[in-house]
């Protein structure tokens, strides 16, 4: 028997292990990436029958043509936006394997522009606005997901001796607040240790969605006529208010699609695509078809079509499963918010907040201050909006705007760096940006009923980011005025030499040239220098990770002075002791026990003269005060660090 005919190949064991590993990663991706879009069936179809400004819907609004039209438009929107636009196109715009708004923005600069700060203002502004909209999405997603899941408890019937519902709106709100507060409290423990637990739960969720849908479709198979896209025309033959309602509701069925790109670095395009095509998409489409079939049989089910698909005996378990899915969806967007904040800090777009890494490889991070702000705002959202129907008005706008802006930046990237000519760019924008624009325009009518919250959060975030950027520019200008030329310092030390002590002193500075103010303050007050004096800059570049061999450049100056230029990716932490160890491999002889780090404690004052308005100055100074201390940001042990205060008038 030849080797090819052998019933057992030597590599079969390896192939089996690889297959199991791949299956495990796909299941994990189902839990982490698709939690948000996976909970859309809880509220999306019902919202399609809510007329503009209404918070409840009656069976009179349900007709066969409307059911066919809505299911058809849901079906084809999921195909076009998620399967084609995101999986086939957007996921290819990876920045060394990483995805997300800042990763895409960092891909745009040319060599002449250098960094994201050198981009044309239009593209830079679009990137910042898109990121700000993700923060708004991150505050609304936990509230609407948990509320919509717990609202299934209303389907539990009261006993014969009790006329009131078992679960009132106020009780459901209280339960939602407890769940959400508990969710944010456990954030400090990190999500890495439960990441693979999410996958099986969400796999069960999508299988349940599909089974419920198939069960209903078998009972009413004529719903399959809705797959004919011509039915979409019928739903737009009514009033203008009805058309706006339908388009904005369709947006709800693809909310969470932006997470596919944001989590690209965790799993890769192939894994995400496999999970989408073989598990997530079938479960969603079958469930929407099942809800449509239910409405054909019983228009009164529009009160809550998702939970009325469930047999009465299964309502309780289904509420538990839906709540678990909602929590997982919330966890995914919260984790994305932390990752977005970390990238913004590394790119210099936000203050240096304290960031805690909760996994060995640094893929999961926790930002305590962001977590505290988010839990307060999410609870406020629940108290203000009180139901998932009202929150739906605020939800779709953030996602529609973000998807549109990502599509624009993707087209710019493909034109600038990937060889797309004007015709290909025009074709892409002609199809997908036109759809995005329809969703955006439809959701603008939701602004008075809840969309204002999305715009408020996004506008506030943008103002904070641009205030920090402008303030840092002013601060750098002020630092430059206090920076002494290196040659002048060396000449001065030769004329007036200072005592030298053993060891290495590392002075961290943001300036690429000249002597940092901290070194001048040290000389002025301590009147002594170490045998080795290292002037070190740590620059964040527009890639997620920099290889260790490319991270550090060392240059010996004169008289024991050295310069070290370090580069970090925008997803890497500024671990200065590790960077110094890399520098020691390039000729700079140092010993950790005899190395002292000198950092400038910048004291910001709004009393200076600059073009910044007074309120913006005070905001920038406040942002500077809430930044974490430099030793935490640079991973410097407190016992080997000396801070020198430097006042800067903004």
Q: How far apart are CA 472 and CA 477, in angstroms?
A: 9
Q: What is the pTM of this model?
A: 0.78
List, for residues 389-430, the tens digit of each pLDDT value. Answer: 778 777 778 888 989 999 999 999 999 888 899 999 999 999
Share of residues in the chain with pLDDT > 70 (%): 89
The mean per-residue pLDDT over the stretch 459-465 comes to 93
CA dist 258 → 36, 85, 131, 235, 395 (Å): 9, 11, 11, 27, 13
On the question of pLDDT at 645 being above 60, the answer is yes
**pLDDT at site 226:** 93
Gyration radius of the chain's alpha carbons: 28
**pLDDT at site 9:** 38
Rounded to the nearest 5 percent, the helix, strand and coil shares of the chain are 65, 10, 25
Q: How far apart are CA 388 and CA 401, in angstroms?
A: 20
**pLDDT at site 331:** 74
On the question of pLDDT at 67 being above 50, the answer is yes
Q: Return the half-sphere exposure (C-beta side, CA atoms, 13 A cut-off) of residue 15.
A: 5
Q: Which residue has the higher pLDDT, 375 or 50?
A: 375
**pLDDT at site 1:** 40
The mean per-residue pLDDT over the stretch 229-251 comes to 81
Q: How far apart are CA 124 and CA 108, in angstroms?
A: 9
Which range (87-101, 456-470, 499-513, 634-648) has the least confidence?
A: 634-648
Highest mean pLDDT among 108-112, 163-167, 497-501, 643-647: 497-501
Which tokens is 584 given? Answer: 């020691």
On the question of pLDDT at 266 being above 80, the answer is no
**pLDDT at site 6:** 36
Q: How far apart are CA 27 and CA 315, in angstroms?
A: 26
Which range (1-5, 357-361, 434-438, 572-576) has the least confidence?
A: 1-5
Q: How far apart are CA 146 and CA 78, in angstroms?
A: 23
Q: What are phi and psi of 601, to 5 degrees?
A: -90, 100
List, for residues 516-575, the tens digit of each pLDDT value. Answer: 888 888 888 888 999 999 999 988 876 778 888 889 999 888 888 899 999 988 777 788
Confidence of residue 510 (pLDDT cuts 50, 70, 90): confident
Q: How far apart are CA 372 and CA 368, in angstroms?
A: 6
Residue of 645, 340, 345, 606 whose CA lies nearest to 471: 606
Mean pLDDT of the chain: 82
Q: Which residue has the higher pLDDT, 80 or 612?
A: 80
Q: Return the half-sphere exposure (C-beta side, CA atoms, 13 A cut-off) of residue 32.
A: 27
Confidence of residue 66 (pLDDT cuts 50, 70, 90): confident
3-state class (DSSP) for residue 48? coil
On the question of pLDDT at 5 being above 80, the answer is no
On the question of pLDDT at 14 being above 50, the answer is no
Confidence of residue 118 (pLDDT cuts 50, 70, 90): confident
Share of residues in the chain with pLDDT > 90 (%): 27
**pLDDT at site 62:** 80
| 3-class SS letters over 143-161 | HHHHHHHHHHHHHCCCCCC
Q: What are phi and psi of 213, to 5 degrees?
A: -65, -45
**pLDDT at site 626:** 78
On the question of pLDDT at 433 being above 50, the answer is yes
List, for residues 323-365, the tens digit of each pLDDT value. Answer: 888 878 777 778 778 878 887 887 888 888 888 776 655 556 7
On the question of pLDDT at 381 being above 60, the answer is yes
**pLDDT at site 219:** 95
Q: How far apart are CA 417 and CA 421, in angstroms?
A: 11
Instruction: Please check whether residue 133 is in contact with residue 402, taking contact to mean a CB–CB distance below 8 angstroms.
Output: yes
| 3-class SS letters over 154-181 | HHCCCCCCCCCCCCCHHHHHHHHHHHHH
The residue whose two tokens read 């228009």 is 299
For 256: left if phi > 0, alpha if psi spans -120 to 50, otherwise beta; the answer is: left
Q: How far apart are CA 309 and CA 209, in angstroms?
A: 10
Q: How far apart are CA 400 and CA 412, in angstroms?
A: 19
On the question of pLDDT at 292 being above 50, the answer is yes
**pLDDT at site 16:** 46
Instruction: Please check whether residue 365 is in contact with residue 356, taking contact to mean a CB–CB distance below 8 angstroms.
Output: yes
Highest mean pLDDT among 64-78, 84-98, 311-325: 64-78
Q: Which residue has the higher pLDDT, 21 or 14?
A: 21
List the domain boundaries for the chain: 29-337+368-449, 482-649
Q: What are phi and psi of 175, to 5 degrees?
A: -65, -40
Q: How far apart are CA 272 and CA 277, in angstroms?
A: 9
Which tokens is 327 given? Answer: 């929590």
| CATH class of segment(s) 29-337+368-449 | mainly alpha
On the question of pLDDT at 21 being above 50, the answer is no
On the question of pLDDT at 126 being above 70, the answer is yes
Confidence of residue 4 (pLDDT cuts 50, 70, 90): very low
The mean per-residue pLDDT over the stretch 269-280 comes to 92
The mean per-residue pLDDT over the stretch 621-629 comes to 77
List, for residues 134-148, the tens digit of each pLDDT value. Answer: 888 888 888 888 887
Instruction: Please check whether residue 649 is in contact with residue 624, taking contact to mean a CB–CB distance below 8 angstroms.
Output: no
Residue by residue, DSSP assigns 397-449 as HHHHHHHHHHHHHHHHHHHHHS---HHHHHHHIIIIIHHHHHHHHHHHTTGGG
On the question of pLDDT at 218 being above 90, the answer is yes
């Amino acid at each position: 028997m030849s080797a090819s005919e052998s019933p057992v190949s030597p590599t079969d064991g390896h192939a089996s292990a690889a297959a199991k590993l791949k299956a495990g990663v796909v299941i994990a991706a189902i839990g982490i990436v698709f939690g948000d879009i996976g909970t859309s069936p809880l509220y999306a179809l019902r919202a399609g029958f809510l007329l503009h400004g209404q918070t409840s819907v009656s069976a009179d609004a349900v007709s066969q043509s409307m059911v066919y039209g809505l299911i058809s438009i849901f079906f084809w929107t999921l195909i076009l936006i998620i399967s084609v636009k995101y999986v086939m196109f957007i996921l290819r715009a990876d920045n060394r394997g990483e995805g997300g708004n800042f990763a895409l923005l960092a891909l745009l600069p040319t060599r002449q522009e250098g960094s994201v700060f050198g981009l044309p203002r239009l593209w830079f502004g679009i990137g910042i606005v898109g990121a700000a909209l993700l923060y708004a999405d991150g505050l609304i997603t936990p509230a609407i997901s948990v509320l919509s899941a717990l609202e299934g408890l209303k389907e539990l019937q009261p006993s014969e001796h009790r006329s009131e519902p078992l679960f009132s709106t106020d009780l459901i709100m209280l339960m939602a607040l407890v769940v959400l507060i508990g969710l944010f409290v456990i954030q400090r423990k990190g999500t890495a240790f439960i990441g693979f637990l999410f996958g099986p739960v969400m796999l069960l969720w999508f299988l349940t969605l599909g089974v419920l849908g198939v069960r209903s479709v078998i009972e009413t198979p004529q719903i399959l006529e809705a797959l004919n896209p011509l039915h979409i025309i019928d739903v737009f033959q009514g009033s203008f208010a009805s058309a706006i309602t339908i388009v904005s509701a369709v947006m709800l069925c693809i909310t969470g699609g932006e997470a596919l790109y944001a989590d690209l670095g965790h799993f890769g395009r192939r894994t995400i695509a496999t999970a989408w095509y073989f598990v997530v998409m079938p479960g969603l489409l079958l469930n929407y078809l099942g809800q449509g079939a239910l409405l054909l049989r019983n228009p009164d089910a529009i009160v809550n079509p998702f939970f009325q698909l469930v047999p009465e005996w299964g309502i309780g378990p289904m509420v538990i499963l839906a709540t678990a899915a909602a929590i997982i969806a919330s966890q995914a967007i919260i984790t994305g918010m932390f990752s977005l904040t970390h990238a913004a800090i590394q790119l210099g777009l936000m203050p240096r907040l304290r960031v805690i890494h909760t996994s060995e490889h640094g893929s999961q991070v926790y930002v305590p201050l962001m977590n505290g702000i988010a839990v307060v705002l999410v609870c406020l959202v629940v108290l203000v909006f009180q139901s998932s129907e009202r929150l739906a008005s605020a939800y779709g706008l953030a996602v529609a705007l973000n998807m549109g802006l990502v599509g624009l930046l993707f087209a710019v990237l493909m034109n600038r760096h990937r060889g797309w000519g004007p015709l290909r760019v025009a074709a892409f924008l002609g199809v997908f940006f036109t759809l995005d624009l329809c969703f955006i325009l439809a959701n603008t009518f939701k602004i008075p009923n809840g969309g204002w919250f999305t715009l408020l959060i996004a506008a506030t975030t943008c103002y904070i980011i641009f205030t920090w950027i402008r303030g840092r520019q002013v601060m750098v200008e002020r630092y430059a005025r206090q920076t002494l030329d290196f040659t002048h310092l060396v000449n001065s030390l030769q004329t007036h030499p200072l005592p030298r002590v053993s060891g290495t002193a590392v002075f961290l500075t943001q300036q690429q040239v000249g002597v940092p103010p901290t070194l001048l303050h040290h000389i002025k007050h301590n009147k002594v220098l170490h045998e080795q004096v290292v002037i070190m800059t740590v620059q964040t570049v527009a890639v997620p990770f920099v290889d260790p061999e490319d991270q550090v450049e060392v240059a010996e100056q004169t008289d024991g002075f050295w310069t070290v230029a370090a580069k970090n990716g925008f997803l890497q932490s500024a671990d200065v002791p590790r960077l110094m160890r890399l520098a020691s491999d390039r000729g700079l002889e140092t010993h950790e026990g005899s190395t002292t780090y000198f950092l400038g404690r910048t004291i910001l004052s709004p009393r200076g003269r600059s073009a910044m308005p007074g309120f913006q100055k005070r905001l920038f100074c406040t942002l500077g005060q809430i930044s974490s201390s430099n030793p935490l940001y640079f991973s410097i042990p407190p016992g080997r660090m000396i801070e020198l205060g430097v006042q800067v008038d903004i």
